[in-house]
Structure 1
Amino acid sequence: MKLPIYLDYSATTPVDPRVAEKMMQFLTLDGTFGNPASRSHRFGWQAEEAVDIARNQIAELVGADPREIVFTSGATESDNLAIKGAANFYQKKGKHIITSKTEHKAVLDTCRQLEREGFEVTYLAPQRNGIIDLNELEAAMRDDTILVSIMHVNNEIGVVQDIATIGEMCRARGIIYHVDATQSVGKLPIDLSQLKVDLMSFSGHKIYGPKGIGALYVRRKPRIRIEAQMHGGGHERGMRSGTLPVHQIVGMGEAYRIAKEEMETEMARLRGLRNRLWNGIKDIEEVYLNGDLEQGAPNILNVSFNYVEGESLIMALKDLAVSSGSACTSASLEPSYVLRALGMNDELAHSSIRFSLGRLPLKKRSTTPLIWFVKSIGRLRDLSPTVGNVQAGCGSEQHRMGTSLIGIGIRRIYNGLQRKSNRSL
């Protein structure tokens, strides 16, 4: 069976074969299958050593002390542990939290739960390009503010927040700063020895590691305290109880090791692919870039196509695996809350598509997705009742003229892509 071209790497990534090979050594009797908490025999010692190696590999990628890395089941748990753990531990100092309206649901829903428990949360609206206005952030800070949670890279539109400056602002006010770095780790440089970040969430499966494993960075100097959310054997220095899944931890460590070696080259390659993809579709009429290419991650491109339902476009592009939003909200029929927060109307938000690029080569088939895409937009716009109404005279003269050019523009781009079908993106 012919598989679609995969352009949804922000949802998940395939496990790198080098990672899978490493993980297999920690599953069966022939390998290292022991419990790292079993310190009375060699099986446990070997497992503990493997966990320590992986912890060091993760720390090296992000410039942290290995003792600051706490293993979790994934970034969602890391976000919960960071936000609830810090809020509960420091609530005697204050009960005010600041975050943004475009954070991942793991952050937003955790904050809403804390609101039900008596905390007060300020949700900052971003600017039109998705970047937080730092003057508004500073104005929102109060004497009773104990925590700020602003992500590094947005999972839907790819914009990169200025976490260095935000960290400086928080440190100056004695406020704990948490960063969800799920979409940035291994794709952008992170040096926690220089950043004024106190808590940072990581994932395994967004960086060619296994699902079901993540980590939370918890700063030691100055020491940050969090209240455990899972209780049991006191694993991970009492911050997260539960038997450590050695094979998953080893896989995450290997994925982070590979990312450290290949990140610089991969960043340049992905940025080139993203820019070529945008250049291939930007001349279509009524197309809008969501986010900011200059202040964006190298692998994410989010675009809205007026008069086309994003879900309809995805259905039409059966040979192209893309997304109309984040994987965690894709089952919802509501338009993207991230795009709404940018001030976009529901109709345009519904027409958005997220392309997220990754390691799988596109060389020989790289122009094919663009041809399919442009052709599908033209076909769906021909079927759109909105376009029909405008062309029938239900809109302004200017709108009718703009809409009538859509088909001409799409045909021009489509024909050009056909002529370049043997070239790369």
Structure 2
Amino acid sequence: MEEIYLDNAATTKPYPEVITKMNHTLTKAYGNPSSLHGKGLEAEKLIKTARKEIANKLKIKTDEIYFTSGGTEANNLAIKGTVNALHRYGNRIITSSIEHPSVLNVFKRLEEQGYDVKYLDVDQNGVVDLEQLEEYLTAETILVSIMGVNNELGSIQPLAKIGKLVASFDNLYFHVDGVQAFTKLDLFPAKLGVDLYSISAHKVHGPKGVGALYIKDGTRVDNLISGSKQESGVRPGTENVPGIVGFGEAVKEIEQEDFTTKMYRLKKLLVTRILNEIEDSFLNGPTIEQGVPHIANISFAGIKGEILVHSLERDNIYLSTGAACSSRLDTPSYVLEGIGVEGDLIEGAIRFSLSSQTTKQEINHTVNKLKKHVTVLKQIIQR
């Protein structure tokens, strides 16, 4: 096979339609959307169309979507913007111990600045402790930030239950990092009691460098960047028109597909074959059905995941040892540590992440190659 790409939780390959639409925008509709002439109006219209596509997918109003440079900026805007806007009402903010670094590191910085930060524990499936959350919620709490789907494990958080707990407090916002959940699950922020919801284009077959933040009407968020009135002043700066257009086109194409069932079927094939055919392999986190359809984290005892990743790369099979943002760091996965995985099972963990473009043939070919590499590596280790 020419290439098998199973690192879609890190980034996805843009749809051909996305590339075509972006090329048109770059070469034909290149005006500044703030300009009053025809070229500017054309660009502005394209942004409105993309905003509508994304808003429809989330079942929210178009003016509740604010474009950013990606999921990281959307998370930072949601968290810092909320804290800046609500700090007079309280000092407590809550998140989980297994959040993405673009959330976790912001909370750590705020903790250094004197905020009362509470980190929720998770169970062996990577799901937050709701009783602990209820215990931590007080009148002084101004923000709860919990990811919809964990990027390493595929754990799905009980957002509706969290939303109900948060709703009983005044001056308290609920933010969700929805980057790994968007288009994979039917999670609609307005129905879940979510005030802020972050998404990213390059996780859904769109371009890198563009994301968005849902901000529920009436939610107070201080802008982090000062400038003009783009994005209603919440995120000033000339819009990334080609990126936004590509984002909208990607969501439009995804809406034409029903791939959740397909991904669950392929994930089941992948996990079942590995666990049945490769000795000392273990699924980390939720079961196949409990987790999101496109992510599976599996450990191979006695083998370093990094070596296994590079071995598979020689066969043009691409996957990762964990989150791309931290996979180059020589430190154990805090996510796997958080769910109780120990020792060489952390070092031997591999993340498989599928997409709508993944095929059954690719899954079977990957497992066959994986079996061979694991066998060879074990023989080398035993010498």
Q: Which residue is 2:47 aligned to?
A: 51
Q: Which residue is 1:371 aligned to?
A: 368
**1:178-216 deviations in Å (ceiling 9; x for gaps):** 000001111111223322000000000000000000000
- Tell me the SS of whatever aligns to 2:191: coil
Structure 1 gaps, min length 5: 389-425
Distance 1:344 1:15, change over 3 A: same
1:298 aligns with 2:293: yes
State whether residues 61 and 190 of structure 1, in contact with CA within 8 Å, keep that contact through their aligned partners in structure 2: no
- What is the deviation of 1:363? 4.4
**What is the TM-score of this pair, normalised by structure 1?**
0.86
The separation in 2 between residues aligned to 1:299 and 1:231, in whole angstroms, is 38
Q: Percent identity?
A: 41
1:337 aligns with 2:337: no
Greater shift, 108-117 or 362-371, is seen at 362-371
1:272 aligns with 2:265: yes
State whether residues 176 and 197 of structure 2, in contact with CA within 8 Å, keep that contact through their aligned partners in structure 1: yes
1:140 aligns with 2:136: yes
1:83 aligns with 2:79: yes
- Tell me the SS of whatever aligns to 1:126: coil
- Tell me the SS of whatever aligns to 2:168: helix
1:124 aligns with 2:120: yes
1:16 aligns with 2:15: yes
State whether residues 335 and 346 of structure 1, in contact with CA within 8 Å, keep that contact through their aligned partners in structure 2: no
- What is the deviation of 1:383? 2.6
The separation in 2 between residues aligned to 1:366 and 1:303, in whole angstroms, is 15
- For 2:30, the aligned partner's letter is F
**What is the TM-score of this pair, normalised by structure 2?**
0.96
Q: Which residue is 1:409 aligned to?
A: none
Superposition pairs for residues 21-420 of structure 1, below 5 Å? 21-28=20-27, 31-38=28-35, 40-174=36-170, 175-220=172-217, 223-262=218-257, 265-283=258-276, 284-292=278-286, 293-318=288-313, 319=315, 320-384=317-381
- For 2:90, the aligned partner's letter is G
- What is the deviation of 1:45? 1.1
- Tell me the SS of whatever aligns to 1:194: helix
Distance 1:303 1:366, change over 3 A: closer
The separation in 2 between residues aligned to 1:381 and 1:124, in whole angstroms, is 38
Structure 2 gaps, min length 5: none
State whether residues 98 and 123 of structure 1, in contact with CA within 8 Å, keep that contact through their aligned partners in structure 2: yes
Aligned residues: 378
- Tell me the SS of whatever aligns to 1:173: coil
The separation in 1 between residues aligned to 2:237 and 2:187, in whole angstroms, is 28
User: Higher relative CO (CA 8 A, sep ≥ 6), structure 1 or 2?
Assistant: 2
- What is the deviation of 1:33? 1.0
- For 2:82, the aligned partner's letter is A
- Tell me the SS of whatever aligns to 2:202: coil
